[in-house]
Amino acid sequence: QVQLVQSGAEVKKPGASVKVSCKASGYTFSSYNINWVRQATGQGLEWMGWMNPNSGNTGYAQKFQGRVTMTRNTSISTAYMELSSLRPEDTAVYYCARRVVGIDYWGQGTLVTVSS
């Protein structure tokens, strides 16, 4: 069955970077885009960007341009999202998700806490 398994929770200081991984299984990793979505506690869903695992092409929401980098390692079917220059308002659960037509499979989420 399709699974997206994310790395564990992170605690970072303001100004640092965080890199979250997302390991895919149960389907051909290169066939579908991976999206990243975040959600602060009690808030709505915020779409961050997408990555094509086959080509490595990416598209980022304007809000995150210059601070986010999405990459992949196709040999281990893993996608990565790195967010730099962290600030307290980046504290959120970060999800990776597979997009077919809609976003049909989601990882379990990774809590990133930014605090001094």
For every residue of 49-107, DSSP letters joined together read EEE-TTT--EEE-GGGTTTEEEEEEGGGTEEEEEE-S--GGG-EEEEEEEESSSEEEE-
CB nearer to another protein: give 62 or 116.
62
Smallest gap from residue 18 Cβ to another protein (A): 19
CB nearer to another protein: give 3 or 15.
3
CB nearer to another protein: give 14 or 55.
55
Smallest gap from residue 116 Cβ to another protein (A): 27
Phi then psi for 64, rounded to 5 degrees?
Answer: -105, -5
Give residues in contact with another protein (CB under 8 A): 35, 37, 44-47, 49-50, 59-62, 95, 97, 99, 101-104, 106-109
Smallest gap from residue 30 Cβ to another protein (A): 18
Phi then psi for 31, rounded to 5 degrees?
Answer: -85, -20
CB nearer to another protein: give 11 or 100.
100
Residue 51 CA: distances (Å) to CA of 25, 56, 61, 95: 17, 6, 12, 13
Smallest gap from residue 4 Cβ to another protein (A): 9
